[in-house]
Amino acid sequence: MTTTTADSTENRPLTTPLRKGRTRLGDADDMAVASFVMGLVGLLVFNVVLGPCALVLGGLALARGTTRRGRALLGTALGAADLLVLAVLMTANGTVSWDFTG
């Protein structure tokens, strides 16, 4: 017969597993990468959607203490650049899309 005691809770890992094989730190690393990718793709297409998503994911990854801090910061900067490109497009063309015809 096995009994549990209060001492068994002291051996818990520092990160709480969310799914099998995943931890909060792993999720923060994934958020940092997603922020970078969304910010990079957002410079070309869907900047109105991908820019704010990159900002939010980069901020969440930094708040959760990601090990990929540089990538999260770069994703946040690219998200801000997406919104800057959106503002320039709206000012210059009056639209939220690219226009290569001049």
Q: Residue 83, exposed/middle/buried by CB under 10 A (0-12, 13-18, 19+)?
A: middle
Q: Residue 56 pLDDT more than 70? A: yes
Global pTM value: 0.69
pLDDT in tens, 69-102: 999 999 999 999 999 988 988 888 777 666 666 5
Residue 5 is encoded by which pair of tokens?
Answer: 């005691």
Predicted local confidence at residue 45, as pLDDT: 86
* Spatial separation of the C-alpha atoms in residues 33 and 29, rounded to whole Å: 6
| Residue 91, pLDDT score | 86
3 state SS of 19 = strand
Q: What is the CA radius of gyration of the chain?
A: 20
Dump pLDDT digits (tens) for 1-52: 555 555 445 555 555 555 555 556 678 899 999 999 999 999 988 888 999 9
Burial class of residue 81 in the structure, from the number of CB atoms within 10 Å of its CB (0-12 exposed, 13-18 middle, 19+ buried): middle
Q: Is 52 helix (H, G, I), strand (E, B) or coil?
A: helix
Domain ranges of the chain: 23-92
Q: Which two tokens stand for residue 26?
A: 């792993």
The DSSP bridge partners found for residue 22 are 19
| C-alpha neighbours within 13 Å on the C-beta side of residue 69 | 3
